[in-house]
Every structure is written in C-alpha cells, then in structure tokens.
Chain A
Amino acid sequence: MLDFDYERPGSLDAAVVLLAEHNGSARPLAGGTDLIDHIRNERLTPDVVIDIKRIPELNVLECTNDGLRLGAAVPCSRICADDNIRSRYAALADSCSIIGGIQIQNRASVGGNLCNAGPAADSIPALIALEATCLITGPDGSREVPVESFCVSKGETVLQRGELLVELRFGPRPPHSGSHYRRFIPRNEMDIAVVGVGASVTLDEAGEAITDARVALGAVAITPFLAREVNDALIGKPATDQTYAAAGEVARGIISPITDMRGTREFRLHLTGVLVERVVREAVHRAVN
C-alpha cells in the first residue's frame, strides 16, 4: 500500500482542525471497509488517514421516544443488536444486517456507507425512507442536510473540503408506522444489490388506509433516491395488495436503470416493481403488528 500518516483525534474539534490543516489531502477512516481497499487500489491517495472512531460524537447511539441519534462511526453490528432500533427503525436494522458478512458488519459504519455514496449502498434507501437528517461539521461550523440530498452522484456527496458527517438524526416514529428494506441479490448473502428498496408507511388508526409513505430506490440510478411518485401512489389509499401492485407499477415507470454485469435493464425494471410491492406489504404488516 502507498505510504500515509495516521492520526487518531479524541475530539470532534481536533478532527476538524486536522482535516483543515491537511487541506484536502486527509481522509476520514471509520470502519475502513471501503477506504482501505480504495487506498490499496490507489483510487484514493491520502497523505493522512484520520481515524474518527474514538470521537465521542461519532459513537452516539441513542434510541428513545424522542427519536434516534446515530453517530456516523457506529458499526452495523451495534445497530443490529439494538432491540429498540430493530422494532422502531426496522428498515435501518434490515439494511445493516445484510451489509457484507459478520466480519464486515463489525467494522462498517452507516456513516461510511453513506459517505462512500455507492449507487447500491444498502443503508441509503433505508435512511431515506426513515427520513434521516445528516449533521455535518466543518471549518465553517455545522449544518444539516436531509439524507435524500446528501449524495449528489456516484461517489460524490455534499460534503465540502474539511467537513465531517457527525451524526444521523431521526424523528420519533409515528403510531401505526412500519418500515422495511430489502434487496435482490443472486446469492443469499454477501453480494451487491441488483435493486434495493426501502419503505416506511404510516396507517390510520383502523390500520386500513395508508396516511403517509416514503419509498426509496437503490441501484437503479446514479444515487439512491426518494421515489416521490411512488409515495403519492400510496398515500390516501387502502392498505391492499392492489395498492402495492399499483405502487410497483409506478416505480417501474419512473426509473431508467442501466444494464451491467449484475442485471439487464429489463430485469431491473421487473425487480423494482416486485420489490416495491413486497417491501411496502411488509412495512404495512409491521405497522399493524
């Protein structure tokens, strides 16, 4: 591997100062499951790697009635082990339980998954469905960005030079709500999504009609995105198979996926419809139970 230096700041302030000092030649290191491979392949050539795992703000994990605070460096395995997250923010736990195998989940963070900005990154559709907000800190102070605006292109985010993603913040879950993330891969585990779908739905008190919905699609565009037309096809509709099928049809109509080694355009179109239908059905099922 190319040579680089290593710093391990113990505070957020120290990390921001270090990033500023190195003026673009430093790279944050969370779990390293993307970064170390990128450095090995010389796709990235930082002079300094800044280990952010010992910064307290990036290790926060608090799931209460007021919402969820998820530090950017918390590894997937800690998220999957949290019963409150599994019941209230199920789509997030679903995605973290399928990112790589156990070895990867013990290191990989959701912050790193998001900052790496892969089109097929599994956590991003779940974060969008659950309406997460990104807390960012940099040399000019802090700002907040809705997660659906965070990735601007493949591998590119809104982060400016010297900025760190600190935390993902989620509001409290409304009563009668449920969420789910699922992807299609040709194996049972350890593969990259051909299509991934995250959904969150809220039902009326009777559990019969959908009062709110957020559906996000992954691996069918340059970044995962909020499928507003699909939300509109669900909101105000009865929670029935017919509604889910119609939403799947709408999803097919708004994407123009590419053909690559993982699947053809036609296959992705078909899968997107099927997955939207199934993921929304499961989210409704969880909202009822």
Chain B
Amino acid sequence: MNNITLNKNLKPASEVEPVLKVRDLNVAFNIPRGQAKILEGVNFDLFPKEILALVGETGSGKSVTARSLLNLIPGRSGETKGQVLFAENDLLLMSDKELQRIRGNRISMVFQNPQSSINPVFTLGEQIFRLIRLYLSAAVEDLKQKTHCSQKQAIETIAKEKLNEVGLTDIKRTLKLYANEISGGMAQRYRIAMALISSPEILIADEATSALDVTVQAHILKLMKDLCKNKQTAILFITHDLGIAAQICDRVAVMYAGRIVEIAETKKIFANPLHPYTKGLLKAVPKLGKNEPLSFVPGIIPDLVNPPVGCRFHRRCDHIMNICRKQKPESLKFEDNHNVSCFLYKQNHKENRHE
C-alpha cells in the first residue's frame, strides 16, 4: 500500500526521502479589498520519524498552510498554487475521491478545538468502531481467528487498546459517552486516538494542545513522541509554545507573513537564531523562574493585500538595508540543516546558495 519504502537502517535525516515535499506553495484569498496573498512561496520537507514545529506570529498563515496540505481550501474562496508532493503525487491536483482516500487515512489532522470536532450525535464508541471497521478490518479478522470471539468483541478489544495508548482509563464507560460529556483533555486524547487508527504516515496537529493544561499536555506530547519513534509517523506540530518546540521537536520552521523565514534543527535555532524575527520571537518567550521583563517585536503583521515589497519583515526590522525594500530574500543555506531567508547572511554565503 505504501509507495514510500521507509528506510529501516536509518541514514542521517538529510538522506532519507521526505514523506511530504511542499514546493512553492502560494495561497491567496479573494476579499473585498482585493487579493490577500496569505502564503507566498512556502517550501519545506517533512521527513518520516520527525516532528517539525511550525511557529510564527498570529495570522501568519500557519493554519492555512496546514489546511492547504490536505487541499482543504475551497477553490471558490481562494487560489492555491504550487505543489504538495505526497508519495510523488501532487495533493493539489487530486480529485476529491482520491483525496478522500488520503485524508484521515494516510494523513490525519487534529484541530485545536477537540470537542467541536467530535460528532455530538453518536457515542464515542460508535464513532471509533466505525473507523476500526474501515481501516483495521485485517486486524479485526486476525483477532477473531486467534481468540475465537465475535466481530463485535474483536472491534471493542482493538478500540480499548487504541484508547489505552492515549492514556484514557475506564474505557468501557467512556465508550458509552457523548462528546459533551467528556472534558477537553479527554476529548483531545480521543481525537488523537481516532487520528491514529489508520496509522497515518503524517499527522498534522494544529495547536492541538493549546487549550489544555500542562499536565494533560505533557501526556499528549509524550504520546506523540512515542508515535514518531515507534510508528515512523511524521508530525507537523503547529504551536505558539516554544517550550513544546524545544522539548519534543526535531526541527523548527518559523513563519512570518506567509513565508518560512527560517528553518533549522531545534538546537541550532535556539542556540543561534539568525533571522531578526526569530530573534525577537525567542526573546519574547517568558521563562519560568527568571522574572525579567518580556520583550517583543514592535509593530504588527503587515497587510497582506498590499504586502511590503521585498522582505515582508522590513518595516519592523532593525537591520534593514536598501536591498530589503526591493528584493525578496531567497532561502539561503547557512549551514547544514539551517536555512534562513534574510539578506544579512547573503554576502558571506553567496557560494552555497540553496537551490
């Protein structure tokens, strides 16, 4: 079924084929004042077994990126250009039917608001049983053969197993409940369990933990990390919490006004942030136990109907040069696994300009 052959004896991350390649993704929405160019030339790769954090300013287009990866942006409200290559196929060119076979199956998504993304009309049990019947029929048959139980018992056993994995307890009772009868933490874990039933190759988590308190969040983060390790799932983790990025993510991509301005290994980006926006963002992180005043990047995100020419950050940048107002900064390879789009780094690295 998988077109991607996962490399068992892992080579270094850079030599593994990415599961998802995003190339020159552009999204524009038609709004009354004109066309809002929300995403412009977004490029990144997602490798199996990695957690990629996507951070950035409110309204910079993180959720739009997530939605366009699954081709969820309705054609009539906007325009999507570029390529999203999943197993060598471009998701943006697929028909609805083909997409349906991928959405929720090979690529799953968890949204921020868990309760409203569970159908309130059916019990939790009914919903998860249906998914198991859909995706795990082989495992159900297997279990039936082995333990000589009925179809229903087999499905229930598997459901329990899956919900146990996400740390839910008292599952027998939980399966009989409706969405409004469980807490936010439970709902989020249930959603994640549902998203994982099909053993997706990619999981997109859009602020999946920002409504949860830290103890529940810690549990979910551990779950995701285990998932990545044990099932080779690649996770795109959209978050505001740089603490999470630092603790569990392998790489961090920083988005500003619809462009990825810096992408690097987590350690590198925290130790040596290059882009002025990344620097400002990291300075704004409140740190437990160090009560220094918070600093922030002054100004606001630009209007994307008339985006600034050149570097989209230039109106807020302290290091602005003449060229920044004229030309779009391309992605430069600063060192291995550390790319930045900023003219400050162009001179020194002209020779190894990335692609």
A binds B: no
